Chains A and B, each alone.
Chain A
């Protein structure tokens, strides 16, 4: 991937230029969101529904009450983690689209390790810790493998991570429908449920599970890692130009594999929370497309870990409002998928505007990056 998407290396920006860049990064997505809203309104008008009703319902269903806000935050938890799983390798110039597989395999590993732990009555906090660890290790190895293949074998990481995703899902199916199948799960093969006593609860005072808090903490930590540490600087430099980074003596291979392992840990953790907080067991419900939505979220956040959070919450809210729209307007639940699709397409198209709007460009002869 090119240097624009990998983020620019901070140089001797004057504050003014920084402000302009920031304003541009805020302005372009907002315009794109507005255009998407207009396009979707046209779509609604064509099929004879009121856009005003729709958007007020989305607002009500996504942010209107404390209940709906909590629903939105809950839904955004896996999206934040999946978004981070794409954003971090993207900073080092890799396009890893296999977060789905790392999420599924991580969730499955967590559910599998939980079976003996629950049977022997290990205390819940220790069980969660072990489950989360094994999920992160599994996810980390899975995506790390794609990074390793990229650097040491020259295998394209986009395709290898996609293939690894399908292999991961097949591994889960193999065990879930075979050796680890709970005989009680007749219609939907699943692993043994971890039981209510071992479910991860909500953040006190809310209905939002701890995965959301983990997502926020990781987003902040990874932001600091990528923009305030030597590691992050080296990673972004590698993302800008691998050859130059190698010439500087940076351990490029180690950096690439590390970024991929971090990404896999994020995705695996998302899988852990899906199992421990939502499903209580591993089954095909883990393959919910979070990994792919995460890619788009990371693009909209321009691979900035902090920006991933609000974008993920926005899409969590749109998803949470789906049920309300379905009930009140008599429209299929796929309505929100159409809206999401339009937003994704328009926002990615708007990338072409960066650097083209005269207003946001530094004056000629000024500092350009």
Chain B
């Protein structure tokens, strides 16, 4: 019995590390966008398009890292599109996000059709667990470099928000557009840049899906990670470092099912998949009228009003 608990825990750890990386990138992208005072519900489109582009480019060039860059580029374009449209007056950012999601997935499915069959070079992982001498632990600790890029990025973002002029400008734009304007900052430009970079991060997150785990391109590749990013950022209360923890938690919740399967429990784990959403909902209910929580949320954000 102890042994099977151990197996489940190790499988969950490995699963959390694997599954969390795309969550991490979309969450950091969404976090940056929302810090500037805008919401992007379209990151699902960036994620799926990024996955397709990364796979196709990796197939043609033979280098998966070029694929990752191209995925970032495709996400950048979609993010810029969202950023540009949303700065026009009278346009609803939530609806535009959903439209971009539908456009991005459509384009990805259209151009991705020929790439469902062929096998493209994938990203290699770094074996961090060989010293343990335990095969399943070593397997779980096969970590992809993008995981570390994500963590580094979160630390960098957290530092930049707190300590740099740029970080201050983004936070100010997100908290009060009027004061940003008074300081001579172009609110539209800051939000455009934040949305564009946020879109790029989501595209990179997509490349992880097709180039590492699950590691192939097909139309059912994403299970809505892009849409969940919004919930994840609320869960993390707009803090990049907490985004990492939230991504790990969401990833672990998603990994419970397969890891229970590995010890023969095949039923009843679907509620664990829903656990992060139930938890996020309760956090929202609990913090909806708390002043401390209101301080952490960007004041200009439509979803916190």
Which residues from chain A sit less than 8 Å from chain B, CB to CB?
1, 4-5, 95, 97, 149, 153-156, 158-160, 162-164, 166-167, 170-171, 173-174, 177-178, 292-293, 295-296, 299, 331-332, 334-335, 337-342, 344-345, 348-349, 351-352, 354-355
Contact = CB atoms under 8 A, between A and B. Distances in A.
Nearest to A293: B102
A296 B285 contact: no
A348 B267 CA distance: 43
Per DSSP, chain B at the interface is helix
Given A156-B303, A296-B102, A352 B91 contact: yes
Given A158-B303, A159-B234, A335-B110, A352 B88 contact: yes
B94 A95 contact: yes
Contacts of A167: 274, 277-278, 281
Interface stretch (B62-70, B225-233, B240-248): B225-233
Given A162-B231, A167-B281, A292-B102, A153 B288 contact: yes
Contacts, number: 140
Contacts of A338: 103, 106-107, 110
A351 B271 CA distance: 40
Looking at chain B, what size class is its interface with the partner chain? 35 or more
A335 B111 CA distance: 9
Contact of B284 (A155, A166, A171, A174): A155
A4 B90 contact: yes
B100 interface: yes
A337 B285 contact: no
A177 B91 contact: no
Contacts of B102: 292-293, 296, 337, 340-341, 344
A354 B92 CA distance: 13
B139 interface: no
B273 to A, nearest CB: 5
Nearest to A174: B270
Contact of A351 (B92, B105, B281, B288): B92
B168 interface: no
Given A95-B94, A156-B288, A160-B281, 7 more contacts: A155-B281, A158-B303, A163-B231, A166-B277, A174-B271, A292-B98, A338-B110
Contacts of B99: 296, 341, 344-345, 348
Given A153-B288, A158-B303, A170 B110 contact: no
Give the top 5 A-B pairs by smallest Cβ distance, nearest first. Answer: A341-B103, A337-B106, A170-B274, A334-B109, A344-B99
Contacts of A156: 284, 288, 303-305
Nearest to A176: B270
B104 interface: yes
Instruction: Pick from B89, B91, B110, B289 the residue with the most CB of A within 10 Å.
Output: B110
B91 A166 contact: no
A354 B95 CA distance: 16
B85 interface: yes
A11 B218 CA distance: 53
Contacts of A354: 90
27 contacts: A1-B92, A95-B94, A97-B98, A153-B285, A153-B289, A154-B289, A155-B281, A156-B288, A156-B305, A158-B94, A162-B227, A166-B277, A170-B274, A171-B274, A173-B270, A178-B267, A299-B92, A331-B110, A337-B110, A339-B106, A341-B104, A344-B102, A344-B103, A345-B100, A348-B85, A352-B90, A355-B90
A335 B112 CA distance: 11
B106 A341 contact: yes
Nearest to A334: B109
Nearest to B268: A178
A159 B303 contact: yes
Interface in B240-298: 267-268, 270-271, 273-274, 277-278, 280-281, 284-285, 288-289
Contacts of A164: 281
A296 B100 CA distance: 11
Nearest to A179: B267
A102 to B, nearest CB: 15
Nearest to A337: B106
Nearest to B82: A345
Contacts of A341: 99-100, 102-107
A148 to B, nearest CB: 11
Given A338-B107, A341-B106, A299 B91 contact: no
B95 A296 contact: yes
Nearest to A342: B103
B113 interface: yes
B86 to A, nearest CB: 10
A162 B30 CA distance: 16
A258 B227 CA distance: 27
B110 A163 contact: no
Interface in B171-210: none
Given A334-B109, A338-B110, A349 B231 contact: no
B143 interface: no
B116 to A, nearest CB: 10
A292 B224 CA distance: 12
Contacts of B284: 155-156, 159-160, 163
A295 B99 CA distance: 9
A160 B277 CA distance: 9
B47 interface: no
Interface string B30-42: 0000000000010
A174 B268 contact: yes
Contact of B274 (A166, A295, A335): A166
B221 interface: no
Contacts of B268: 174, 178
A122 B81 CA distance: 55
Contacts of B230: 159, 162
Nearest to B267: A178
A5 B92 contact: yes
A352 B91 CA distance: 6
A197 to B, nearest CB: 31
Nearest to A338: B106
B112 to A, nearest CB: 8
A58 to B, nearest CB: 15
Nearest to B220: A284
